[in-house]
């Protein structure tokens, strides 16, 4: 009788374990361990509306990530993904295709500590690459434009010189640059340095307007960390130190509103817009989350509302993101996991469109 009871108990336990394992597989909570890392590379959960799933096939050679991955940028026309990483004796930029093939490393010596990375000339098969450098050495505190193969084309700011001047442009640990299709540039300057400002430049790199005061009030910043522009002439800034997103008119620079209620636990680190203009993708590094927020209609800002969350494993530390504007694929730079990952949308053909 005792043996039967034990056998029945084991059958129940075995069935429960099988059910748990099945649920973990369905929700993406089983991963593979990356060599030399305690992070489960594929460990994540989907909360709320399931909008994205991890593409396990990208990249095809993840062992090529050899440093701390801080930034990622994608161009849908050229089909390329640029990944910025830091570390001693590692290539500061790795170039992949959107299918995951490795194309080339950059062996440039002109980058110290890459932070934000952006591919301009969106409609071009040869996009130029803009990188913000927050290093404190002879090449830091500036923003650099490169050719697709890593040739330095021009520099904004004075390399190695931290400053707060606008004429000539002087930066102190510039966090990110967004280059509009018009050629106009939006820069968030201040990844922990003396500056806390949002700057708009013309395509000729003349200052059009600026907000540059440290504080918690309207149009004040504390570590502005990421910036993007939507099709309704609105500029969205991840105001990291104040745990909020601030919104401005892209033409006049006027303050339009703020989102803060979604960021009580952790600050927004990165902000991007999905190609269908329905959602903002926001990264929160310390809680290891990628959140999708409803984008407000034209003419209003309202309050933020989280629709979906990709909950990554502890210590993955997602930092900055970018999206393929053709397929909607989401690329995430992860400092803690020392990798970039690709998520594709749950829809026909993997596209929002």
pLDDT digits (tens, 9 = 90+) for 203-215: 999 999 999 999 9
Structural domains in the chain, sorted by start: 51-346 (2.120.10.30)
Please determine, for residue 29, whether its predicted confidence score (pLDDT) is greater than 70: no
CA distance 188 to 211: 10
**What are residue 320's DSSP bridge partners?**
333
Q: How many CA atoms lie within 13 A of 205 on its CB side?
A: 12
CA distance 290 to 105: 27
pLDDT tens, 121-155? 866 778 899 999 999 999 999 999 999 999 999 99
Q: What percent of the chain has pLDDT over 90?
A: 81
CA distance 331 to 322: 5
pLDDT tens, 305-340? 999 999 999 999 999 999 999 999 999 999 999 999
Nearest CA to 93 out of 70, 76, 61, 120 is that of 70
Average pLDDT in the chain: 88
Please tell me the predicted confidence (pLDDT) of residue 31.
Answer: 39
Distances (CA, A) of 28 to 54, 304, 308, 343: 8, 27, 15, 12
Distances (CA, A) of 155 to 117, 121, 169, 209, 341: 14, 17, 10, 20, 29
CA distance 163 to 154: 19
Nearest CA to 321 out of 352, 279, 353 is that of 279
Q: Which of 34-38, 95-99, 234-238, 329-333 has the lowest mean pLDDT?
A: 34-38
Please tell me the predicted confidence (pLDDT) of residue 43.
Answer: 84
In this prediction, residue 352 has a pLDDT band, given cuts at 50, 70 and 90, of low
Residues 6+ apart with CB under 8 A from 350: 327, 328, 329, 344
CA distance 272 to 176: 12
CA distance 158 to 138: 9
DSSP 8-state class, residue 166: B
**Per-residue buried b or exposed e for 102-123, using 16+ beta carbons within 10 Å of the residue's own CB:** eeebbebebbbbbbbbbbbbee
**What are residue 312's DSSP bridge partners?**
44
Please determine, for residue 198, whether its predicted confidence score (pLDDT) is greater than 90: yes
Please determine, for residue 221, whether its predicted confidence score (pLDDT) is greater than 70: yes
Please tell me the predicted confidence (pLDDT) of residue 3.
Answer: 34
**What are residue 169's DSSP bridge partners?**
166
Please tell me the predicted confidence (pLDDT) of residue 211.
Answer: 97
More confident residue, 103 or 349: 103
Q: Which of 13-22, 281-290, 323-332 has the lowest mean pLDDT?
A: 13-22
Please tell me the predicted confidence (pLDDT) of residue 12.
Answer: 37
């Amino acid at each position: 009788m005792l043996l039967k009871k034990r056998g029945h108990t084991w059958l129940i336990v075995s069935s429960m374990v099988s059910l748990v394992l099945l649920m973990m597989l369905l929700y993406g909570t089983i991963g593979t361990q990356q060599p030399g890392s305690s992070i489960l590379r594929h460990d994540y959960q989907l909360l709320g509306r399931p909008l994205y799933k991890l593409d396990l096939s990208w990249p095809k050679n993840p062992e090529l990530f050899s440093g701390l991955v801080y930034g990622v940028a994608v161009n849908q026309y050229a089909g390329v993904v640029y990944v910025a990483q830091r570390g001693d004796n590692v290539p500061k930029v790795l170039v992949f295709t959107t299918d995951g093939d490795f194309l080339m490393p950059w062996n440039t010596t002109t980058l110290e500590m890459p932070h934000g990375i952006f591919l301009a000339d969106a409609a071009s098969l040869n996009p130029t690459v803009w990188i913000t450098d927050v290093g404190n050495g002879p090449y830091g505190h500036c923003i650099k434009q490169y050719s697709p193969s890593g040739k330095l084309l021009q520099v904004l700011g004075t390399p190695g010189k931290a400053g707060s001047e606008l004429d000539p442009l002087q930066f102190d640990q510039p966090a990110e640059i967004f280059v509009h299709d018009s050629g106009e540039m939006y820069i968030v300057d201040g990844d922990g340095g003396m500056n806390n400002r949002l700057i708009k430049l013309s395509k000729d790199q003349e200052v059009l307007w600026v907000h540059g005061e440290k504080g918690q009030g309207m149009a004040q910043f504390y570590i502005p960390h990421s910036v993007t522009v939507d099709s309704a002439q609105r500029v969205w800034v991840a105001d990291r130190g104040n745990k909020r997103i601030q919104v401005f008119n892209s033409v006049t620079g006027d303050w339009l509103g703020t989102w803060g209620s979604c960021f009580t636990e952790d600050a927004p680190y990165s902000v991007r817009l999905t190609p269908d203009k329905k959602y903002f993708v926001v990264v929160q590094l310390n809680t290891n989350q990628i959140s999708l927020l409803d984008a407000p209609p034209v003419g209003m800002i309202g309050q933020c509302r989280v629709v979906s969350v990709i909950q990554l494993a502890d210590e993955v530390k997602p930092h900055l993101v970018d999206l393929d504007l053709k397929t909607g694929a989401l690329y995430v730079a992860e400092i803690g996991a020392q990798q970039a990952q690709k998520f594709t949308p749950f829809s026909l053909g993997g596209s929002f469109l």
